[in-house]
Structure 1
Amino acid sequence: MTALNHSSQILSHDTLAQWLAKLGTLSVAHAAHRLVQLLKQLKPQADSDPALQLQLLLGLIPAVIRIIYNLNSVVNQAGQDEKTHKLSRLCVQLPRQLGLNFSLWAESGRLDASQMPLAIYHALQALGHADYYYALDHQPPSETLWKKTAALYRRAEAYRQHRYDLGNLVAEYQGQATIDAVVKRNVLFALLQPARFDDDRIKALFLFAGCHGDDVDFSSSPSTANPLFAWDLQGAQPPVAVKHTLKTLPDGYLGIDTSRLGQALADNTTAMALGVEFRNRLRHHLAGYRDIFASVVPVKPQATYFVQGFDEVCACLQQRDKLTRIKQMGGQDAHPLLARREIALMPMEHERHAFHALAEQSRPSQRAPGRRVHKMRIESERYVLIEGYSFDCVIGEIALICDDDTPPVLVVVRQQAYHDPTGAMHVLLEKMPGDCGIYAIAPKADNRKAIVLNETMPYAEVVLASGRYDRQGRIALINDKIIVLGDFLEASSRFARYRFSFDW
């Protein structure tokens, strides 16, 4: 099957139709590869005719949608192996490349007033579908695509084209007739944090975002009061939650209000039927957890220690492991997982008396090197609400709740608000359930750590310092074990969270 030459006069609707007819005779994987190659050839060139190129890209949309659908059907029926992962990546590559091509044309300065909204709209539709397939493949969102999405939204705003009704769209796009509707669908899907859910729920979330994007309100005014979420239109990240304590938006940010949708979820009046637990989880998030902040039970709070920050949490867990080993030398019970980690040196025989003496004093010294706070009682098992004074947190920060007598609980900061009657700061934390421990990453001199959760279970998780990681990536530990990264779960500017398994 020959490639098409984008710069020649041979490329026309007739030759494209013939090429697509031949494409239909190939296997779905082979056809997808060919289509990706063609899309790469159709990037704007100096001698490209904008009108012809846009029409060709528009003509390829049905083929892209059909092949992605067929690829996804094969992936759903196949087992989890390397071949399946390659097919999943093709589901991402096709809409990604299509969206980038439309985006490049929108940026080219060569489109007229009628062509510009078409290019922006179809770029945003394709990029939104690429983001959806990134989630289904359990990969982190693409910074490149979100940078493009922000730039396209700015351009549509500048040209006042974001509410222009395009009409005459392919069936898959008819739920979003305007640029504004597509952007809101994409933004809402990102806000729903799809990577934290299984495939069936990710699919439900994309449909939900398509149905309820219009229930999301945007505001670019710097004086927007207490926005629930914000999107940096100059950046390369998806929208993020905003602390309740933030009074105004920084320059260049778009305020996002999802309170109407949160109320619709509370009233169970959304277009889609969702399970109670799933609906409540979305409701809490989209309403800024305000109902949880308001659910404090009026009983005496419990004192506890709060450690925030990846490095600080690692130091605390490492200290607790060492103290538990000291206890072990003193004849007390040790945690059964410690023998697996092997991250501390064992004492020589002549040193045991010193460790025994330290063990006698270990109880008072086991206090975490963090802040003493009060844990409030709330009507939720998933979350922890703490109260303190004169301290601040970052949403998306990794943290630890630890007491002298109970195992530490790994948490993520989800929201923060002032408690008006007392002037205290209330911080809402979401638990990462399970036993947590610490491993040292090789080489030892780098002093890098991996926090693990439920390491002996099939659903084991690893929390790493913020950075770029690849699914199936391998991380060597100093004890000769290897962490193999699985599904992406969550990331922020502070940490990255994945499923994982061990290899030796």
Structure 2
Amino acid sequence: MYAANLASQNCRAANRQAKLNLEIFRHSSVGRFMPTQTSLPFPLESESATTWLQSLSSLPPANAANRLNQAWKTLSTSPLSGDNPLATMIGMTPPTLHLAQGLAVFARAEWPANAKSCKAAKLAIQLFRHASLAFARLASGLSDDAERGRVAMFYALQLAGFCLRTGARFYEAPSASLWKKSAQLYVLAEKQRWLNQAISVKVADFKNAGTLDAVFKRNLLFTLCAPNRYSETEIDQLFQFAGQTQHLLQFNRHDVGDFDFYWELTDSEPKPRRHPKWPLPKDSLAISTQRLGRALQQGEISVDMAVATRNRLAQHLLGYDQIFSSLTIGPAQPARLLTGFAAVSGYLQGEDRLSKIMRLSEQNHGSRATLHNMTLMPLEHEKSFFNQSPKSNGAGHLDSFEVRLLRSTSKQFLVAESTTGSFGNGDIALLYREQLAAKLVIIRQQTLFEDASLLLLEPIPGKIEPYAIDNPLGRQQCALLIDAESASAEIILPPGKYGTQTDIALAHFKSVTLLACVEHNPWFNRFKIRVGS
């Protein structure tokens, strides 16, 4: 039987088969998606499902994956019937793993050369996502059946983890709906006391964890490692690392005051702690990575990754404490910090507009000296903006804060001290000093020192250009282009939902295509891009 044969394959055979299928995927109709089904193509009984799965073996892999994806999508949204839907869904899992992993191998080999490889990647992610949501839906309805409920939840979480890894490999933003469903499952597992009960399954890919707690922690740790900022090889290493070391994560449902990350169980993915003084949000899980970070930093954990990657990861998990402790004695440099995507983009747009007016005036009058005798007359709503330059002690109606830049041995980060203002970890900001060009930075971490906050700022190098986004609905939004003319061009977008291979139309500029999500958080979205010809 198709499902039985796939279930019995070991990892080496599966990898060999995936390579053999590359040419089949290359010439199959991965781009022609099946029409959406509103009902299952088989009765929800094990024997009927087995017969249907056998029929898939005669199809090209991409076509089989399309049909399987539609079946999972139906299972994730439609009422479930039959004597034992769990057994049917478990039987569907091995071919799902096989086909999704084969699609991912094909897509990566061709990435991002053509549309077919991009569609293959998205289909692989959808397979894992819909299968996970189907099991999650089933688990939620089995709260009175502890044994089957735990197994259904275990499959849901394992498939969610595979979805997270595959999405990161292709630099997609994580699925908010999948994380929200995972949060609901955590609340249920905690209530039913299922978290630490042993679970045994036959799927070889799922045997690396024996409890729900282990799979929850693996998925959380992998996401907390910010995998989209790493290479594909490093992403696989991070997933393996998360599976091996998840037991070192420390959870707490109470506000213990000292935690590094948190997971709002009514929201989506886990996040860095936003501010050292801000309390744990209601209905959240506090997560400490200190024990894990120290073990990694001190070499107590054997990990398959380069030394530079290991050090970078340990630094992140420990809250960059080594950089804060590397401050040296010396005079601080006064500066100002303007925070928030709207404020930063608004200021850059104003500067860009002013620069263009000055260039036009210079051309018209043919002499730079003429500019000294000119008075620029902004529009009424712009007066408060232009009245004060951010290089002075104020930035008009834009809310900037006084900071002092401290001396540090770090070449990658800056450290600023602030006694005013309230900043969020992960937020974007503009750092400016007298007579120097403003720097675009990301607030990576904060720590408290006496009555001040120390801010770890990561500068974003490159030429920054603001452009209005062409929006058919008339919404006024701005995008920030970074080194638009280079091969490493990036774009920073306002908060929202964006997918790779999406085209963004910019006013008075070429359209850009989103290639890879580098960073996704409540403050902004950052993508590598291809600029249209």
TM range (shorter): 0.7 to 0.9
User: What's the counterpart of residue 77 of structure 1?
Assistant: 109
Q: Does 1:463 align with 2:500?
A: no
Measured against aligned partners, the alpha-carbon deviations of 1:88-116 in whole angstroms (never above 9, x if no partner) come to 01111111111111111122257522211
TM-score (norm 1): 0.88
106 and 14 in structure 1: CA distance in 2 versus 1, 3 angstrom threshold = closer
Q: Could you tell me how far apart the structure 1 residues matched to 2:341 and 2:80 are? A: 51
Q: Could you tell me how far apart the structure 2 residues matched to 1:128 and 1:499 are? A: 24
Which of 403, 406, 409 aligns to 2:439? It is 409
Contact 1:140 1:488 (8 Å CA) reproduced: yes
- Measured after TM superposition, the shift of residue 383 of structure 1 is 1.3
Contact 1:330 1:356 (8 Å CA) reproduced: no
Q: Could you tell me how far apart the structure 2 residues matched to 1:406 and 1:359 are? A: 23
Q: Does 1:130 align with 2:158?
A: no
User: What's the counterpart of residue 16 of structure 2?
Assistant: none
Q: Could you tell me how far apart the structure 2 residues matched to 1:178 and 1:312 are? A: 46
Which of 301, 311, 327 aligns to 2:342? It is 311
- Measured after TM superposition, the shift of residue 349 of structure 1 is 5.2
Measured against aligned partners, the alpha-carbon deviations of 1:77-134 in whole angstroms (never above 9, x if no partner) come to 2241110011001111111111111111122257522211111111111112112222
Which of 300, 323, 330 aligns to 2:331? It is 300
User: What's the counterpart of residue 477 of structure 1?
Assistant: 506
484 and 197 in structure 1: CA distance in 2 versus 1, 3 angstrom threshold = same
401 and 37 in structure 1: CA distance in 2 versus 1, 3 angstrom threshold = same
Structure 1: segments with no counterpart, 5+ residues: 332-346
- Measured after TM superposition, the shift of residue 494 of structure 1 is 1.6
Aligned residues: 480
Contact 1:326 1:356 (8 Å CA) reproduced: no
User: What's the counterpart of residue 127 of structure 2?
Assistant: 94
243 and 215 in structure 1: CA distance in 2 versus 1, 3 angstrom threshold = same
Measured against aligned partners, the alpha-carbon deviations of 1:391-441 in whole angstroms (never above 9, x if no partner) come to 110112110122343332211111222212xx2221111222222121222
Which amino acid is the alignment partner of residue 183 of structure 2?
A
Question: For residues 351-500 of structure 1, what are the structure 2 equivalents within 5 Å?
Answer: 355-358=371-374, 365=389, 367=391, 369=395, 370-420=400-450, 423-442=451-470, 446-500=475-529
User: What's the counterpart of residue 343 of structure 1?
Assistant: none
Contact 1:305 1:402 (8 Å CA) reproduced: yes
User: What's the counterpart of residue 93 of structure 2?
Assistant: 61
User: What's the counterpart of residue 290 of structure 2?
Assistant: 259
Measured against aligned partners, the alpha-carbon deviations of 1:27-46 in whole angstroms (never above 9, x if no partner) come to 22112112112323445765
The 10-residue stretch of structure 1 (158-167 or 133-142) with the greater mean CA deviation from structure 2 = 133-142
Contact 2:142 2:148 (8 Å CA) reproduced: no
Q: Could you tell me how far apart the structure 2 residues matched to 1:14 and 1:304 are? A: 71
Question: For residues 15-414 of structure 1, what are the structure 2 equivalents within 5 Å?
Answer: 15-43=48-76, 48-49=81-82, 51-80=83-112, 81-109=114-142, 112-222=145-255, 224-235=256-267, 237-243=268-274, 245-246=276-277, 248-325=279-356, 328=359, 355-358=371-374, 365=389, 367=391, 369=395, 370-414=400-444
Q: Could you tell me how far apart the structure 2 residues matched to 1:315 and 1:69 are? A: 44
429 and 126 in structure 1: CA distance in 2 versus 1, 3 angstrom threshold = same
Contact 1:320 1:366 (8 Å CA) reproduced: no
- Measured after TM superposition, the shift of residue 501 of structure 1 is 2.5
User: What's the counterpart of residue 28 of structure 2?
Assistant: none
* Percent identity for Structure 1 against Structure 2: 30
- Measured after TM superposition, the shift of residue 157 of structure 1 is 0.3
The 10-residue stretch of structure 1 (200-209 or 312-321) with the greater mean CA deviation from structure 2 = 312-321
Contact 1:289 1:415 (8 Å CA) reproduced: yes
483 and 351 in structure 1: CA distance in 2 versus 1, 3 angstrom threshold = farther
- Measured after TM superposition, the shift of residue 287 of structure 1 is 0.8
Measured against aligned partners, the alpha-carbon deviations of 1:145-193 in whole angstroms (never above 9, x if no partner) come to 0110000000000000011111234221111110000000010011011
Residue aligned with 1:299, SS: strand
Q: Could you tell me how far apart the structure 1 residues matched to 2:38 and 2:497 are? A: 36
- Measured after TM superposition, the shift of residue 26 of structure 1 is 2.3
Q: Could you tell me how far apart the structure 1 residues matched to 2:275 and 2:80 are? A: 52
Q: Could you tell me how far apart the structure 1 residues matched to 2:274 and 2:39 are? A: 52
Which amino acid is the alignment partner of residue 367 of structure 1?
K
Q: Could you tell me how far apart the structure 2 residues matched to 1:110 and 1:4 are? A: 27
Q: Could you tell me how far apart the structure 2 residues matched to 1:476 and 1:375 are? A: 37
Q: Could you tell me how far apart the structure 2 residues matched to 1:326 and 1:276 are? A: 50
Measured against aligned partners, the alpha-carbon deviations of 1:199-253 in whole angstroms (never above 9, x if no partner) come to 112111111111111111111023x121111110111x21111146236423201
Q: Could you tell me how far apart the structure 2 residues matched to 1:382 and 1:373 are? A: 19
Residue aligned with 1:301, SS: strand
Q: Could you tell me how far apart the structure 1 residues matched to 2:494 and 2:76 are? A: 36
The 10-residue stretch of structure 1 (471-480 or 183-192) with the greater mean CA deviation from structure 2 = 471-480
Q: Could you tell me how far apart the structure 1 residues matched to 2:389 and 2:147 are? A: 71
Structure 2: segments with no counterpart, 5+ residues: 1-36, 377-385
